[in-house]
Amino acid sequence: MSESKRDFVGYGNKKFHFSWPGGKRLAVSIVVNFEEGSEHSVATDGMVEGVGEFLPVDIKVRDVGNESIYEYGSRVGIWRILSTFKKYETRATFFATAGALQANKPATDAIVKAGHEICDHGLTWTEHFHMTYDQEKETITKSVAIIEELTGKKPAGFYAREPSVNTLKIVQEMGNFIYDSDVYSDDVPYRASPGGILLVPYTPDVNDFHFLSPMHRFSNSSDFFVYMKDSFDVLREEAKTSSKMMSVGLHARVTGRAGRTVALRKFLEYVKGFDDVWIATREEIAKYWIEQVEPTI
C-alpha cells in the first residue's frame, strides 16, 4: 500500500454505542497460531528460522534443535491448549497454515470437532510480499483448497502474517473470505476502502511470541497474564462508553508449554467473571459487525 493511501485518522474519537450479542460491550478474540512444520528451514526454503526459544544456528544448515521445539507445539502443545479451552468452554480462532493442518490430521479434526474456527494462515511462512500477484493468488488458492479438503469448509478469514500490497485485493477476489486480519491499527473492525473486505484487527503486543528469542519480553506466565489482564481491564472500562474488541495471540509451541499455559488458564478464569464480555471467534465477530453494526454506523 502506498504511503498516500495510509489512514492515520480512522474512526477518530467516534463513540460506538452498539452492543455485541446479548448486550455485551467488549468482544474478546483468542487466536492460536497453528503453524508448526511451516516455519523457515534450510530443507524447505533455504532459510534458517530466526524466531524460537533460543538464537538460531549461525550457518545455513538444518537447525534440528529449533525444529524439535516447533514439533513440540504440534505433538503436545496443541492438545494442552485444546484441553484448556474445553475446560473453560471457550471457542477460539486458529490461524492455521495448510502445512500444519496436513502434518497433524488428528489435531485438525479435534479443532474442528470442538467448534473452533480455522482461519487461513497461508500454505507456509513464505512471506507474501516476496511474491508476484499471480504467485500470491496461486498460493492462497491452494491453501483454501487444502483447508476445505481437511475441514469440509472454506475458511472465512485470512491472515498472511507478512502481506503484500496485493493481499487484500486477492483475498476479496477469492469470494469465500469475509475478513482479513493483517492489520494492527484499531480496536474495532473497519474497511480500508468502501466496498473493501472487512479488516478485523489482530495484536502484536498481547501476544505470547514475546516469550521467544529475539524478543524475550515475557519471562514467565505472570508477565504474560498481567499484560493480558491490564489490556483487558482498560478496554473493558473504555467499552462501557464505546464498544470495543480485544485480541489475544497465542502459539501452540509457546503457550502450549506447561508453565505458560498457566497464563491462559488465569486469563480465562478472570474474563469469565464478567457478564459484559463476549468471547467469540473472529468469524462470529466479522459476521455480527457486517450484519448488525455496519448498517448503524
- Smallest Cα–Cα separation from 107: which of 256, 269, 260? 256
Residue 178: count other Cβ atoms within 10 Å of its Cβ. Answer: 20
Q: List the one residue out of 44, 119, 114 whose CA is nearest residue 86.
A: 114
Domain CATH for 277: 3.20.20.370
10 part of a folded domain: no
Q: Which residues contact 185 (CB under 8 A, 6 or more apart)?
A: 7, 10, 201
User: Per the structure, how many domains does the chain have?
Assistant: 1
Q: Which residue has the higher pLDDT, 297 or 136?
A: 136
Over the stretch 203-238, which tens digit does the pLDDT of each residue have? 999 999 999 989 889 999 999 999 999 999 999 999
Residue 272 lies in a domain: yes
Residue 13 in any domain: the answer is: no
Q: Examine residue 20 and state whether it is found in any structural domain, yes or no.
A: no
> What is the percentage of the chain residues whose pLDDT exceeds 70?
99
The verdict on residue 180 lying in a domain is: yes
What band does 48 get if pLDDT is binned at 50, 70 and 90? Answer: confident
**What is the pLDDT confidence band of residue 89, given thresholds at 50, 70 and 90?**
very high
Is pLDDT above 90 for 115?
yes
Give the mean model confidence (pLDDT) for residues 241-258.
98
Render 1-26 in DSSP notation, one character per residue.
--GGG--S-TTTT------BGGGBSE
Mean pLDDT of the chain: 94
User: Looking at residue 156, what is its pLDDT?
Assistant: 98
Average pLDDT over residues 156-185: 96
Band the pLDDT of 1: cuts 50, 70, 90: very low
pLDDT at 2: 41
Per-residue pLDDT at 76 exceeds 90: yes
Structural domain includes residue 211: no
Q: According to the model, what pLDDT value does residue 3 have?
A: 43
165 is in which domain, residue-wise?
25-35+77-206+218-296
- The model's confidence at residue 41, banded by pLDDT at 50, 70 and 90, is confident
